[in-house]
């Protein structure tokens, strides 16, 4: 395949060879290191990417490079990460925060400012709409509300029947149709890397048919050869399948079987995916510092100890509720990140809720109150959002730019190979 690629003379034939090579690397991952070490092969890909005006061919080359494990330098002076929590229809609160951050940036779209975007459950939907579909936040809000109202408007009888028969309160077939209508059914997660400056995307689900629950990462990239992460994942699934798996909340939707892996909502295990985001970024950019890590929550309320009604024990239902709450808690990860990362690097933006909204909340009054809660948080944390934007806007130093340009030039001429 390598020789065939080197001997092709037309763009159409090159595209065909690139697809064959991608399929080969996905099927036989161990051969990727051979390609990475082949200076002539890498030279052809990088030089063609630099010189061709055929946008479709450029997309094919970026896809091939991503499968090999080739990683571009960060767009800023270090790695910039966006992590988005789960939370059902409370995702509207996260979108309000992202809109405020985009306004503070003063021009660029918020998704363009990040090298890596990670989302779980409803955060995965937002990550795809912003990072893969490249929609404006305003358009994302419209789609989001349309999805929520179409999906969660259902009679109680059919919901209870579905819960008893398939452990799914909501109609899974309807959910799939809504996803395909919003996202499309012809995009794999890997295809989202085809555009210029596309961010690395990670959508988190939870594997439930292993001996222990474990995160699963739908990626639009592969690790560089020689690096092995802690989490299972793949880049071949359709985007709608990745989102269905990531949002398959127990009791709300059926579990999702993809190949031999059974998935549930990623929020069951990692409702705040910031720690997973840092791990993935370290696999991709081991020698780069973190410039800015932005963790967006979808609402939380302050828990205070009620000393007026002291209980000596709790009931079974309350015990189960507490277990669910602890499994989907987002603030413990935040506290760890807050203690471990520098204050001018890590920013947690998570509005306070005046009411404990449910995952499937569609009551107009409560949705309006959600928006009020988010906007109140934004007003009170205006300085913090401005600081976040300022950290994101830091550009690479002149020395960084010169070094990266020299390395890119050398790679295109087969004179330099990054060590992996």
Residues annotated as part of the active site: 121, 265
Return d(Cα 67, Cα 33) in angstroms, integer.
Answer: 11
Return d(Cα 236, Cα 228) in angstroms, integer.
Answer: 18
> Residue 348: which of 362, 356, 336, 361 has the closest Cα?
336
What's the count of helices (H) and strands (E) in the chain, helices before strands? 18, 9
Return d(Cα 129, Cα 141) in angstroms, integer.
Answer: 10
| Token pair belonging to 75 | 């767009």
DSSP per-residue letters across 202-244: EEEEEE-SSSS-EEEEEESS-PPTT---SSEEES-SBHHHHHH
Return d(Cα 346, Cα 218) in angstroms, integer.
Answer: 24
Rg (CA), the chain: 22
Instruction: Give the other-Cβ count within 10 Å of 393's Cβ.
Output: 15
Within 38-107, where are the H helices? 39-51, 55-68, 91-105
> Is residue 81 a contact partner of residue 118, using CB atoms and an 8 Å limit?
yes
> Is residue 204 a contact partner of residue 215, using CB atoms and an 8 Å limit?
yes
| Token pair belonging to 270 | 């990692």
DSSP code at position 121: T
- Give the start-end residues of each E strand in 235-319: 256-258, 261-265, 290-296
> Residue 113: which of 67, 82, 158 has the closest Cα?
82
3-state secondary structure of 151: helix
Give 3-state DSSP helix, strand, coil % of the chain, rounded to 5: 55, 15, 35
């Amino acid at each position: 395949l390598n020789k065939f690629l080197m001997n092709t003379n037309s763009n159409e034939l090159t595209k065909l060879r690139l697809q064959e090579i991608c399929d080969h690397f996905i099927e036989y991952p161990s051969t990727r290191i051979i390609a990475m070490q082949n200076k002539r092969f890498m030279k052809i890909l990088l030089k063609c990417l630099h010189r061709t005006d055929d946008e479709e061919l450029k997309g094919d080359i970026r896809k091939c490079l991503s499968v090999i494990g080739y990683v571009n330098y960060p767009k800023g002076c270090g790695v910039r990460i966006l992590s988005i929590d789960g939370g059902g229809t409370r995702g509207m609160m996260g979108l309000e925060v992202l809109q405020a951050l985009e306004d503070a940036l003063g021009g660029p779209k918020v998704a363009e400012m990040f090298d890596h975007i990670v989302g779980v459950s409803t955060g995965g939907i937002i990550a795809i709409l912003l990072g893969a579909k490249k929609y404006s936040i305003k358009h994302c809000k419209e789609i989001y509300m349309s999805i929520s109202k179409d999906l969660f408007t259902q009679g109680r009888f059919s919901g209870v029947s579905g819960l008893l028969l398939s452990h799914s309160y909501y109609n899974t077939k309807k959910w799939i149709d809504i996803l395909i209508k919003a996202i499309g059914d012809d995009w794999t997660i890997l295809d989202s890397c085809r555009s210029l400056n596309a961010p690395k995307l990670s959508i988190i689900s939870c594997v439930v048919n292993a001996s222990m629950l474990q995160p699963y990462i739908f990626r639009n990239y592969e690790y560089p050869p020689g690096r092995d992460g802690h989490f299972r994942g793949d880049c071949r699934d359709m985007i709608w399948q990745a989102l269905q798996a990531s949002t398959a909340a127990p009791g709300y939707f059926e579990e999702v079987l993809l190949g031999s892996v059974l998935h549930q909502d990623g929020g069951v295990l990692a409702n705040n995916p910031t720690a997973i985001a840092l791990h993935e970024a370290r696999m991709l950019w081991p020698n780069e510092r973190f410039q800015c890590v932005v963790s967006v929550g979808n609402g939380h309320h302050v828990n205070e100890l009620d000393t007026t009604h002291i209980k000596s024990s709790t009931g079974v239902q309350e015990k189960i509720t507490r277990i669910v709450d602890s499994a989907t808690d987002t603030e413990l990860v935040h506290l760890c990140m807050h203690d471990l990362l520098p204050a001018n690097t890590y920013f947690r933006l998570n509005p306070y809720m005046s009411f404990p909204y449910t995952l499937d909340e569609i009551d107009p009054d409560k949705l309006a109150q959600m928006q009020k809660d988010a906007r109140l948080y934004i007003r009170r944390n205006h300085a913090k959002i401005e600081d976040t934007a300022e950290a994101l806007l830091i550009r690479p130093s002149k020395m960084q730019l010169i070094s990266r340009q020299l390395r890119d030039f050398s790679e295109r001429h087969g004179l330099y190979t990054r060590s992996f």
